[in-house]
Amino acid sequence: MDKTYLQTVTVHPQAPAKPAAGAQCNGCGVCCAAEPCPVAMVFLWQWRGACRALVWQDESRRYVCGMVLGPEQHVRFLPRYLVRRLGRLFAARISAGSGCDFDAQVQHTP
């Protein structure tokens, strides 16, 4: 039996539309606004709601993962020598660059 539920998420008004599942990620932010990923669950101790590490970038008009770009801004007491390594590890764990894996129907409201 297919279980369907509705969830309301809020993203920046200039965020790009969510791509189709399997298409290249465009930084729409819908997946991270809907639920935290395993990285957020383990390192931010966040199990529901919009990810606290979801970062809007005005210049590129897209969302990015703060745990990939600047984990030291989200994880306390992170040694400097681990920052770049953890950013790469987090990118691999969330499959950054491998395509949209958030299979949801999105309805835009004005």
Report the SS3 class of residue 57.
strand
DSSP summary character for residue 19: P
pLDDT per residue over 3-17, tens digit each? Answer: 677 788 889 999 999
20 domain residue, yes or no: no
Question: Residue holding tokens 């189709």?
Answer: 20
98 domain residue, yes or no: no
Question: How far is Cα 28 from Cα 46, in angstroms, rounded to an integer?
Answer: 21
Q: How many domains does the chain have?
A: 1
Report the SS3 class of residue 69.
helix
Question: How far is Cα 100 from Cα 20, in angstroms, rounded to an integer?
Answer: 7
| Total-model pTM | 0.86
Using an 8 Å Cβ cutoff, are 55 and 69 in contact? yes
Q: Report the pLDDT value the prediction gives residue 104, as an integer from 0 to 100.
A: 79
101 domain residue, yes or no: no
pLDDT along the chain (110 residues), means of 10: 76 93 92 94 95 96 95 91 92 87 77
